[in-house]
Amino acid sequence: MAPLADQYFGLTERTKPVCVTEFGYAIPVLGQMPCGFDFAKSHTAQRQGPHLVQGLDWARQSGFVRLVIVWNLDVYSSTGVTDCNVPYALWRSDWQSPALPLLKTYLAAHAQ
């Protein structure tokens, strides 16, 4: 998130806050990935939560990111594996997610 958010902040001449509307961490679904997702083949569900928390923490400390929307909660529950949004889903077909408890803990600790 850091390089892209910083680039957008620079486009505003560093005068306007940035909102990150789709921040996620793609992971394989049932061992499969949609076309074009080769970059995420080595990603794991166990790493999804720490990656998201690290990004949220960077955004909070950046001083110029106003909003981050974690992408996405449950697209997996309603679409097939080939949908390009599915690898970002936090909930899987078994409604489990190692990432959600980490996100909940982080957000509770930094609630304002």
Q: What is the pLDDT averaged over residues 39-64? A: 95
pLDDT in the model for residue 33: 86
For position 29, what pLDDT does the model report? 84
**Distance between CA atoms of residues 56 and 37, nearest Å:** 23
Give residue 70's pLDDT. Answer: 95
Backbone torsion region of residue 18, taken as left when φ is above 0, otherwise alpha when ψ lies between -120 and 50, otherwise beta: beta
Q: Quick check: 46 and 98 in contact, CB under 8 A?
A: yes
